[in-house]
Amino acid sequence: MNKETLKKLIDVASGRLPADLVIKNCKVVNVYSGTIVEGDIAVSDGMIAGVGSYEGLKEIDAGGRYASPGFIDSHIHIESSYVTPEEMGRLVVPYGTTTIIADPHEIVNVCGLKGLEYMLDASSETALDIRFMIPSCVPATPFEHSGAVIDAAAMQGPITDERILGVGEFMDFPGVINAETGALDKLLLARRMGKLVDGHSPGVSGKALNAYASTLIHTDHECSTIEEMQDRIERGMYVLLREGSACHELSRLMKGVTQYNSRRCLLCSDDRQPKTILEKGHLDEHLRILVEAGIDPIVAIQMASLNAAECFRLFDRGAIAPGLRADIVLLDDLKNFRADAVFIEGRLVARGGRYLLPVTRHSIRQVRGSFHVKDFSVEKLKLKLTSDDVTTIDILPGGVVTAKGKARVARDGQGCFYYDSSQDIVKVAVVERHQSTGNVAVALLRGYGIKEGAVAISIAHDSHNIIVVGVNDEDMAVAVQSLIAQSGGMVLVKQGQIIASMPMPVGGIMSDQSGEWVDGKLSEIHEVAYRELHIKEDVEPIMTLCFMSLAVIPEIKLTDMGLFDVTTFSFIPVEA
């Protein structure tokens, strides 16, 4: 801000000059005082000059609607929406979201720092204010191969960018708790640069949690119980209450929100697909859930705005008050939270659920594709066993956690596993696609329900190698080879033929199409998966697979290096 802009702001606030814009006849939600005040909102150069009685060069009648601060999603992976940053903005802004804190560790795990550069560049093409955390764990663990290795030295340049608020979720909580050198280097870099560190510590408690919190890790979005939530708040951390497409902890954790701790509670979606956004909205859904459960509407809005702004040191937003950004949502009521109009920096960007600005897309040239698969063949999918007794990855309903199961399976004359249709146990394989290692790890998955064909995807958190599941090696191989040929995404195969697919050319993890197109393709893939492959209807066929190689979420997962026990952080044999 220069002197002229500041002088004009003061003159507008004092009534000496007309405002650029006045939003007339509002019920203004004051998240500082917990009150609702009737009046006008005056805007000067994208900033709020005041609330009261004002005249403006342009005036918009709010019609007595509630004026809320713009909503802030405190933790989201844009890539998990399968669309690019520009499209994410088009999708969520009409629901009242004006700022998101994005962790691009998916694209950085695939493309390295050029993936971060792409996300920063593409984010400039949307009205949505996208702030970033630089990924802390690339790779997420040392137990898989990713497209890059980002250590503290590599982070030093990018972390100085003002659009990067800090270091992303520190999933390597054992490295922090055990004071490993690489983890300490990243934490100290954040301290030197005056930046925040996001947390990720599922199941950590007691002295181990003390050790984790002692590093001043700022947040955690992985609480599964009220006790875990309270443990973190007591240690000075903010807790992010998550309601995404895959994980739904909000309804459970909000029961632990009190008048004493509500200001340490934020809202986040983490992962939210276009289908969820188009059908349920974004943070407005979180607000509906909170208010329906009896949370005061103003407290709920604090969690969606002021709390997040203060947590992430975005002191220029989060409320409707003089001197702050004019990020404002006009709401029909404080129950359904339907956004009638959305303003970002005083500009009307959405009205009646429709994004008003043209969508300009940044070039994806620097992140197109990213497949370096060496010597893949159907032979690599064979699973030779020394025993009929095996360990299985058991799918659990309603989340991304798996269980370590035991089973007896059939073997052929060569000792290799073969599919028995009377058992819901099939092969799952991870094919390394970044470093040309030739790695193909094979294990057994129970509870997916597939009875024919194969499914292959290149969205496999967090390193995004290829993951494939199927009832026979031939269909699995066709699915993998077809996936590589289309530069990633999703492929369903039956009897050697592709029966459904969705290309995702942006790093193999994002589409360059609209959210509606992605939603349509996903719906088609789901329908075909259930109808043709007979996957269990209580299993989400794509998202379930996405998390089968996430080696930081218990209990057992598969990486390109083998079957991994998350509870012991060690590889284990398939044989039980």
- For 1-52, write each residue's pLDDT tens digit: 899 999 999 999 999 999 999 999 999 999 999 999 999 999 999 999 999 9
Confidence of residue 419 (pLDDT cuts 50, 70, 90): very high
pLDDT above 90 (res 369): no
Q: E-strand spans in 171-292?
A: 196-199, 219-220, 238-242, 265-268
Domain spans of the chain, in order of start: 3-64, 68-366, 368-571
- What's the confidence (pLDDT) of residue 554? 86
Find the helix or strand (DSSP H, E) in which 283 lies. helix 283-292
Please say whether the beta carbons of 311 and 38 come within 8 A: no
The CA distance from 446 to 428, in Å, is 10
Grade residue 194 by pLDDT with cuts at 50, 70 and 90.
Answer: very high
Q: Among the residues of 226-280, which ranges form H helices?
A: 226-234, 250-253, 274-280
Cα 76 from Cα 271, distance rounded (Å): 6
User: Between residues 36 and 246, which one has the greater pLDDT?
Assistant: 36
Q: What's the pLDDT at 245?
A: 84
Task: Calculate mean pLDDT across residues 220-233.
Answer: 96
Among the listed residues 194, 150, 147, the one whose alpha carbon sits nearest the alpha carbon of residue 172: 150
Contact 556, 565 (CB under 8 A): yes
487 and 368 Cβ atoms separated by less than 8 Å: yes
pLDDT digits (tens, 9 = 90+) for 48-81: 999 999 999 999 999 999 999 999 999 999 999 9
Say what the pLDDT of residue 132 is. 98
Residue 398 has what pLDDT?
A: 66
Are both 3-64 and 68-366 of the same fold? no
Measured CA to CA, the distance from residue 67 to residue 420 in angstroms comes to 60
**Tens digits of residue pLDDT in 111-131:** 999 999 999 999 999 999 999
- Three-class DSSP category at 350: strand
> From 3.40.50.720, 3.90.580.10, 3.30.565.10, 2.30.40.10, which CATH number describes the 3-64 domain?
2.30.40.10
Asked if residue 211 has pLDDT above 80, the reply is: yes
Percentage of the chain lying above the pLDDT 70 cut: 100
68-366 sits in which CATH class? alpha beta
Distance from C-alpha of 362 to C-alpha of 85, rounded to nearest angstrom? 9
Average pLDDT of 401-417? 95
Integer angstrom CA distances of residue 456 from 245, 406, 459: 20, 25, 9
- Cα distance from N-terminal residue to C-terminal residue, the chain: 65
Q: For 552-561, what is the mean pLDDT?
A: 92
Distance CA 139, CA 432 (A): 13
pLDDT tens by residue, 487-528:
999 999 999 999 999 999 999 999 999 999 999 999 999 999
pLDDT of residue 98: 98
User: Predicted confidence band at 471 (pLDDT cuts at 50, 70, 90)?
Assistant: very high
Count other C-beta atoms under 10 Å from residue 422's C-beta.
7
Contact 277, 243 (CB under 8 A): no
Quick count: other Cβ atoms within 10 Å of Cβ 372?
13
pLDDT computed for residue 140 by the predictor = 80
Instruction: Check pLDDT > 70 for residue 399.
Output: no
Given a contact cutoff of 8 angstroms between Cβ atoms, the answer to whether 446 and 394 are in contact is yes
Per-residue confidence band for 401, with pLDDT thresholds at 50, 70 and 90: confident
Long-range (24+ apart) CB contacts under 8 A made by 2-9 are 5/45, 8/44, 8/45, 9/44, 9/45, 9/47, 9/49, 9/323
CA–CA gap between residue 333 and residue 158 (Å, rounded)? 42
